[in-house]
Structures are given as structure tokens and as C-alpha cells.
Amino acid sequence: MSPPSAAAESTTVWAELRHAEPSDVPFIRRMIYQMAEFERLTHLFSATDTSLLSTLFPSPPLPHFFSFTPLVLYLSFTSPPVPSSQTLSITQFSLSSPVVDPDEADFGSPLGDGRRIAGFVICFPNYSTFLAKPGLYIEDIFVREPWRRMGFGKFMLSSVAKKAAELGMGRVEWCVLDWNVNAIEFYKGMGAEVFQEWRICRLTGPSLEKYKDE
Amino acid sequence: MSPPSAAAESTTVWAELRHAEPSDVPFIRRMIYQMAEFERLTHLFSATDTSLLSTLFPSPPLPHFFSFTPLVLYLSFTSPPVPSSQTLSITQFSLSSPVVDPDEADFGSPLGDGRRIAGFVICFPNYSTFLAKPGLYIEDIFVREPWRRMGFGKFMLSSVAKKAAELGMGRVEWCVLDWNVNAIEFYKGMGAEVFQEWRICRLTGPSLEKYKDE
């Protein structure tokens, strides 16, 4: 007799990275807050659904990847998603065990179709004068805690990099905190160079406002 | 009898920061190369007039500061410039002594009006999810060598920061090399915070191209 097979059974999950819709904004806002918690930067968080909606979904809309571009990671558990014009990429994952997701109720698809939101990306075009080419800057790439270390981050970053390469862009860039050694190793494994010499400078708040009066 | 006054005489120069025209592209390309030399990064330089023209001046044109935005610093020596719709900012400088500019012939105004190109800025909008607001990212800010340490860099950065604040943007950001201590002190004096913890990650060249096939 063979042993019980339950432990060896894998769970199939389909992941779709798709361009966000206005109805995704409350999920994105919650994930931005979770990211701020992880980065110990909640004191800098002031986004609301209204401010995200007006800045990420301007009217008239701009073409994807030519301005601020939010993408959402949807997981399907019962059947593969049907690709739409909003789909950037779809792939299938086999998880070694079912995932316990304590925030399940907060991240169910607004369509009530049993899908789950597990991550997001926000990117926008940047420009390299040395290359005289646009690139893509990833402002945020985030996977919710229960879904980490399963390949979803790699799926999202690969999908965005593939699109940038197809668009003829010269670079894909993003930032990482120097103490986040897991992320740094992950990015290096994806082929990224991590620059040690550059420092970010910022004018914000009163330091920026004072220039209004100059 | 008073001493000869020549040494105390000041030279008046008017500086105009204005949106670049296609005819400014060859000057911008030369300055990008000078910047690459200063940053010891000429191996990364591949811009041509054609590639700069097609990427910085798309057709149809996009509104200033809503996409890649090149600005050029013009100096006038005989009379103040007449403001136009391309003008961002004009100010008057008193230099303590005349400036010897070895590249004078290469940087004369294409209009043949005796003006001189002394610097440039290239910026584009970025996005902060924490603020849910656009900002402005300065890709390059450059003053040609003979015109440094006279206040032109401050004039350009202040003009851009003022415009960003007026547009309701949340941040102005840029990068600096950690060994460029003069620049870091200058930026701090302008009110900027310099972040020590963030590192830039980049996929480019073959490391980016390989994602096309995924």
C-alpha cells in the first residue's frame, strides 16, 4: 500500500498581472500601507483612495507605460483567468502546500469571482541621457506577506522587464533599502546590478514649498 | 587719488532657463558627454543628436513637465533676454571677473545673437505612492566648467523646484555620487535631504534583453 498522498499534493494557482482598474484602488492603498509598515516608513504615508484615483487614473487616460502605470497581481484558485486587454502576463504556479491568508476577506476580487489580490507594481517611464532612451522605473513592487517566497515577485518583475525590453526601453530601474539583504540577493539573481555609489537627494514638504516664494 | 577700479568692476550677465528647442540638441549632446567625462562614465554614453531629438521631442509634443522635459541655460552679455513662452526663469548675475570660456565657439546660440549656452537640466515626472502625488525627478543638472561656482546651478535647481511646488508636486528628487562631496554640500545647502540607505538597482543591456524571450 502506498502512503497517504496528502502531503505530496500540490495546489495549483494561476497568477495574472494586469493593469489596475479604478475598482482596484482600495486594495492598492491597503498594500501601500503594508509596504510602508515593512519599510518602517508609515510616518510618510498619506495616500487616500481619492488621491490615488485622481493621480493614477487621469482623465483622459494615458497609454500604459507612458505615464504612471499601476498593475495588480490577481490569483485564481479554481480555473485559469481569461486574458483581457488589461492582462500583461499570466502563469501557473504549483504551491507545495495551501496558503493561510489572514487578510483573505480584505483582498477578495471586487467582482466576487473568488479571485484574490496578492500584490501590485507601480511603474513609470524614466529617461537616460547617456542612452538617449526612455526606461522604466519601478516605484513599488510588493507581494503580500503570506504569498512571499513562492515566485510571484519574480513573475511580476520578469513580466515588467519583458514589456520594457519589447518597448525598446534601455533600462529597468528601482531602489532597495541596503538592509533588505533578501531583496538584494533576489534582485541580483534576476540579473540586476546594485549601485553602491549613488545617493538619492530629495526636496519635500517645507523644504520644497519655500521655493514657491523665490 | 583712488586706485584703478578695474579689479573691482563687475560683469553683468543675464541667465535664462528656458525649455529646449530642437536646435538646442547638439549643445545638449555635447554637455551630456562632458558630464559623462566628469562622472567617469563615458563608457555608458551612446546618445546621438538623432536619438536625443526623437526621444526628447516626440510628435505630438507633450506638455512641459508631464513627460521628459529638457531645459537649457542661456547667458546674455549685452542686454536682458526677452521672455517667451519657452522661458522658465530669468535672473541677473554680477560676476566678479570676466570668465574665460575655452569652448565659447562650440556653445554660441544657434540664433547668432551673441548668447551662450552654459548648462542644461533634464527632468521628468515621477510618482510617490506614499504621498499619492506626482513629483519631479531631475535626471541631469549640469553647468559647463568655466561657469561653475557662480550660482547658476542654484538658479537652475531653484527654478525647477519653484515650478514643481507651483504644480502641487510632492517631491523633487535626483541622485548624486557619494564621492562628489562638493555637490552633496551644495544640495544640502539648498534644503535637500540626502538618503544613505537606498540603493539603485538596474537591468540593462543583455540582462534586460534576455527577458524578451521569457
Give 10-residue mean pLDDT values along chain A (214 residues): 49 96 97 92 92 93 92 96 96 93 92 92 97 97 96 98 97 96 96 97 97 90
pLDDT at position A91, please? 97
Name the band, by pLDDT with cuts 50, 70 and 90, for residue B214.
confident
State phi, psi for A76 to the nearest 5 degrees.
-115, 140
Residue in B179, B154, B5 with CA at minimum distance from that of residue B73: B154
Give the residue numbers of A annotated as catalytic, written as ranges. Answer: 187
Cβ atoms B41, A130 nearer than 8 A: yes
pLDDT at position A175, please? 97
Is residue B112 pLDDT above 90, yes or no? no
Interface-testing mutation among B27, B127, B171, with chain A (most A C-beta atoms within 10 A) = B127
- The answer, for A26 touching chain B at a CB cutoff of 8 Å, is no
Its ipTM equals: 0.92
pLDDT at position B2, please? 45
Residue in B94, B114, B76 with CA at minimum distance from that of residue B11: B94
Pairing of strands A198-204, B69-76: unpaired
pLDDT at position B41, please? 86
> How does pLDDT run across B122-132, given as a tens digit for each residue?
999 999 999 99
Looking at chain A from residue 43 to 102, which residues have their Cβ under 8 Å from any Cβ of chain B? Answer: 44-48, 51-52, 55-56, 66-68
Pairwise CB contact (< 8 Å): A41 & B130? yes
Name the band, by pLDDT with cuts 50, 70 and 90, for residue B33.
very high
Average pLDDT, chain B: 93
- The answer, for A194 touching chain B at a CB cutoff of 8 Å, is yes
> How does pLDDT run across B190-208, given as a tens digit for each residue?
999 999 999 999 999 999 9
Q: What is the pTM of this model?
A: 0.92
> How does pLDDT run across B47-86, given as a tens digit for each residue?
999 999 999 998 888 889 999 999 999 999 999 999 999 9
Name the catalytic one among B33, B127, B137, B187. Answer: B187
Cβ atoms A174, B165 nearer than 8 A: no
Is residue B148 pLDDT above 70, yes or no? yes
Name the band, by pLDDT with cuts 50, 70 and 90, for residue B114.
confident
> How does pLDDT run across B160-184, given as a tens digit for each residue?
999 999 999 999 999 999 999 999 9
Mean pLDDT in residue range B101-123 = 93
> How does pLDDT run across B2-32, given as a tens digit for each residue?
444 444 467 899 999 999 999 999 999 999 9
Residues of A in contact with B32 (CB under 8 A): 129-130
Q: Is B51 helix (H, G, I), strand (E, B) or coil?
A: helix
Is residue B185 pLDDT above 80, yes or no? yes
- The answer, for A114 touching chain B at a CB cutoff of 8 Å, is no
Q: What is the distance of C-alpha B170 from the center of its chain?
A: 20
Pairwise CB contact (< 8 Å): B129 & A196? no
Pairwise CB contact (< 8 Å): B158 & A208? no
Closest Cβ–Cβ partner in B46, B127, B201 for A131: B46
Residues of A in contact with B191 (CB under 8 A): 203, 207-208, 210
Phi-psi region at B37: left, alpha or beta (left = phi > 0; alpha = psi -120 to 50): alpha
